[in-house]
C-alpha cells in the first residue's frame, strides 16, 4: 500500500518514458505493491516495472540500490535489473520524487500469506543473499551504539502522548484495543535496557533490509526473483531472519500463534547457506522484540498524523502488537529451541 499520493498521471508517465528512456507507452497498470507507487508499463519495446519512490528517497540512494542489484546479477542471484535512461542514469528526479525503470519479472507475489513450501525456500534465498553480500560495503545500522541511544523513558513518553490523543476521543470504536496495546508496550520498557545487551557480539551483514513475501516473485511453486533493494543496509542478520519469517507467512493472520518448531526449521534452512553463531541464536527473539516493542507505527498514523489510509495502518499496528505479545511470551523458548537444534543437528554455520 503506497504511503504517498502519486505526483504522476498517465500522460506524465507516457512523457517520462518517451523523453528519458525513448520508449513508447501502450498501456499502464497500477500495482498495489509496498509503500511506493508502482506500475507495470507495456511499451512498444517491451514490458517494464515503473516505480515512483517516496519523497524521502534521493537519487544517490537509488544509485546505491542499482549498484547492489548489479553486484547480485554478477553473482547469478535472481533480481530485477535497472534500465538506464538515455543518458545512462539509474533514474530521474521528477516533482520531488525519484523515478526508476526496471526489468519486469512475470510471476505471483504474496503479502503475509506465502505458502509454506515457498516460505522455507525463502530462507534459502535469504541465506544465499547474505553469503554473497557479507563483505559488500554498506553503512552499519541497528548496532549496539544505536540500541543504547534509545531511552525507555522517552519511548514511554511517546506512548503516553498517544494515550492522551486517544483520550480525546473515547467514543472511538478502537479505543479499548488501542489503549490496551499502548499500555502493554509501555510495560515492555521495563525490559528494553536488558535487551540492548543482545546487540553485542552478534552477526551483522549487508542485506535486503525489507525481505518479506511481497518482495519475492514466484512462479510454478518456486521463487523466481527477489525485488526492491531500496531499504538495503548492514544490520543484524537475525533481525532480517525473524522478521522475514513473521511477515511472510510464518505467523497466523491475527498474530495469535508463533510456531517455535516451524521457525526452527526456517532457521535450519537458512544456516545451510550462511553461518550463525550461538550468540545469534540466543539473541534472535530479543533483537526482534527490541525494535518491535518501541514502534508506534500504525497508532501514530491513526491518532496523530491521521494518514489517508490510517485504518489499514492501524490494523497493521494491531497485528504487529499481537505478534509482539506472542514473541515476548515465548522468547526464552525460541532461544532454547534454536540452540538445542544447533547442538543436536550440528547446523551452526554453513553446510
Encode pLDDT of 287-334 as tens digits.
999 999 999 999 999 999 887 789 999 999 999 999 999 999 999 999
* Residue 268: alpha-carbon gap to chain centroid: 21
* Amino acid 343: pLDDT: 64
* Amino acid 35: pLDDT: 78
- How confident is the model over 228-244, as a mean pLDDT? 97
pLDDT band of residue 347 (cuts 50, 70, 90) is low
* Amino acid 255: pLDDT: 62
Domains and CATH numbers, the chain: 10-103 (3.30.200.20), 116-345 (3.90.1200.10)
Q: What predicted TM-score, i.e. pTM, was given to this entire model?
A: 0.92
pLDDT band of residue 351 (cuts 50, 70, 90) is very low
Alpha-carbon torsion, ordered 241, 244, 249, 255, to 10 deg: 90
180-193 pLDDT, tens digit per residue, is 999 999 999 999 99
pLDDT band of residue 345 (cuts 50, 70, 90) is low
Q: Is residue 346 pLDDT above 80, yes or no?
A: no
* Amino acid 93: pLDDT: 96
Q: Is residue 42 pLDDT above 80, yes or no?
A: yes
* Amino acid 309: pLDDT: 85
* Amino acid 350: pLDDT: 44
Q: Is residue 164 pLDDT above 70, yes or no?
A: yes
- How confident is the model over 60-87, as a mean pLDDT? 97
Q: Is residue 349 pLDDT above 80, yes or no?
A: no
d(CA 9, CA 99): 13
- How confident is the model over 13-31, as a mean pLDDT? 97
Q: Is residue 234 pLDDT above 90, yes or no?
A: yes
- Is residue 128 within 8 A of residue 122, CB to CB? The reply is no
- pLDDT above 70 as % of the chain: 95
261-272 pLDDT, tens digit per residue, is 999 999 999 999
Average pLDDT, the chain: 94
- pLDDT above 90 as % of the chain: 88
- How confident is the model over 123-134, as a mean pLDDT? 98
Q: Work out whether strand 97-103 and strand 46-52 pair parallel, antiparallel, or are unpaired.
A: antiparallel
pLDDT band of residue 3 (cuts 50, 70, 90) is low
Amino acid at each position: 500500500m503506497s504511503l504517498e499520493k502519486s505526483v504522476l498521471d498517465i500522460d506524465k508517465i507516457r512523457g517520462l518514458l518517451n523523453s528519458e528512456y525513448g520508449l513508447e507507452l501502450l498501456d499502464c497498470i497500477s500495482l498495489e505493491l509496498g509503500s511506493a507507487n508502482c506500475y507495470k508499463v507495456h511499451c512498444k519495446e517491451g514490458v517494464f516495472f515503473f516505480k515512483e519512490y517516496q519523497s524521502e528517497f534521493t537519487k544517490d540512494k537509488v544509485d546505491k540500490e542499482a549498484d547492489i542489484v548489479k553486484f547480485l546479477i554478477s553473482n547469478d542471484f535472481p533480481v530485477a535489473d535497472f534500465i538506464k535512461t538515455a543518458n545512462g542514469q539509474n533514474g530521474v528526479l521528477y516533482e520531488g520524487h525519484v523515478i526508476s525503470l526496471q526489468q519486469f519479472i512475470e510471476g505471483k507475489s504474496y503479502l503475509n500469506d506465502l505458502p509454506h513450501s515457498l516460505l522455507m525456500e525463502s530462507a534459502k534465498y535469504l541465506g544465499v543473499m547474505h553469503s554473497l553480500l557479507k563483505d559488500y560495503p554498506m553503512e552499519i545500522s541497528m548496532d549496539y551504539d544505536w540500541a543504547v541511544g534509545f531511552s525507555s523513558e522517552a519511548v514511554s513518553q511517546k506512548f503516553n502522548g498517544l494515550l492522551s490523543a486517544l483520550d480525546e476521543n473515547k467514543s472511538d470504536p478502537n479505543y479499548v484495543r488501542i489503549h490496551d496495546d499502548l499500555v502493554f508496550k509501555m510495560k515492555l520498557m521495563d525490559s528494553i535496557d536488558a535487551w540492548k545487551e543482545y546487540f553485542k557480539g552478534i552477526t551483522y551483514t549487508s542485506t535486503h533490509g525489507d525481505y518479506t513475501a511481497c518482495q519475492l516473485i514466484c512462479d510454478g511453486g518456486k521463487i523466481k526473483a527477489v525485488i526492491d533493494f531500496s531499504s538495503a543496509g548492514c544490520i543484524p542478520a537475525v533481525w532480517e531472519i525473524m522478521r522475514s519469517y513473521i511477515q511472510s507467512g510464518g505467523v497466523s493472520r491475527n498474530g495469535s500463534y508463533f510456531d517455535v518448531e516451524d521457525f526452527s526449521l526456517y532457521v535450519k534452512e537458512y544456516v545451510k547457506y550462511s553461518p550463525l553463531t550461538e550468540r545469534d541464536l540466543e539473541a534472535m527473539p530479543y533483537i526482534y522484540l527490541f525494535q518491535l516493542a518501541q514502534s508506534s507505527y500504525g497508532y501514530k498514523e491513526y491518532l496523530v498524523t491521521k494518514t489517508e489510509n490510517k485504518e489499514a495502518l492501524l490494523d497493521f499496528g494491531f497485528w504487529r502488537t499481537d505478534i509482539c505479545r506472542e514473541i515476548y511470551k515465548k522468547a526464552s523458548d525460541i532461544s532454547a529451541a534454536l540452540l538445542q537444534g544447533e547442538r543436536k543437528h550440528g547446523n551452526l554455520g554453513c553446510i
